Amino acid sequence: MHPFHRSRLFVCAALVCAVAARADWDLGGPHKMHFPQLPDLNGWDVNVSDYVLADDWQCSMSGPIPQIHFWISWTNDLQSPITNIHLSIHDNVPEPPFSRPGELLWHDDFDPASFQIRNWETGLQGWLDPLSNFWRWPDHMTIWQVNVGMHPGNIFFQMISNIYWLDIKLDVLPPGKAGWKTCFTNFMDDAVFWTGEGWQELRSPEVPFPSLDLAFVIDPMPEPAAAALVVSVWLAVRRLQRSAARPARQHA
């Protein structure tokens, strides 16, 4: 890509992030996915300190993803600092024996200056370590919402109707461990966890071992006035990408 085009692309991404300042997400708030997967107040928290967890969503609005929100708890309610959040987005592999994340499309890491955590709700909840199948019920009460604002210059653009997977891994200082909360609704395929050798379906440890999904929201621009900016910036980025893909003309 020509350096001038590259600089313009960076400016476009920076404009998107400037409008999309970090913000909490409230019930009934905007989203750009099939529906918000809200936390089950009496569900499970799946260990996301030691494992990569992933769940899928269907895009309902083409354009940039400026914010991602998800819900966690700490085992035994022993809150410990999160030093890094690793997020990645993958395409969908809809093949037997179960759908799972495929090609890596985007990824980034976020230090504590790049995310906010707020108290959400309380409820009697369990703890689940999916690889060892260790579980404890009840384990904790407090639910937290994590709000992550994307970095300027590294924005993922999703396309309407596509299925994507969101992967999350948290680095947490001892002695606490964080768990990604399950939700009370199910969309398409089960959530999955990485075993070190491959993906495995995420299921409840209790008979009849129902499938589990995880709680998160893909957030559009928080400001209604930003809608026109989103469209214009996105179109500008697409034009720049097409322009960069054209071969240079040779003059005699």
The pLDDT assigned to 27 comes to 86
Q: What percent of the chain has pLDDT over 90?
A: 67
Predicted confidence at residue 207, as pLDDT, reads 84
pLDDT at 45: 98
Q: Say what the pLDDT of residue 185 is.
A: 78
With 0.85 as the threshold, say if the pTM is over it: no
Burial class (CB in 10 A: 0-12, 13-18, 19+), 40: buried
Write down the mean pLDDT value for the chain. Answer: 85
pLDDT digits (tens, 9 = 90+) for 168-217: 999 999 999 999 999 987 777 889 999 999 999 999 998 888 899 999 99
Helix, strand, coil percentages in the chain from 3-state DSSP, rounded to 5: 20, 45, 40
> To which H or E segment does residue 60 belong?
none
Per-residue pLDDT reduced to its tens digit, 4-22: 444 444 444 444 444 444 4
Which tens digits make up the pLDDT trace of 92-104? 999 889 999 999 9
252 or 175, which is more confident = 175
How many other β-carbons are positioned within 10 Å of the β-carbon of residue 218? 26
Q: What is the pLDDT of residue 199?
A: 96
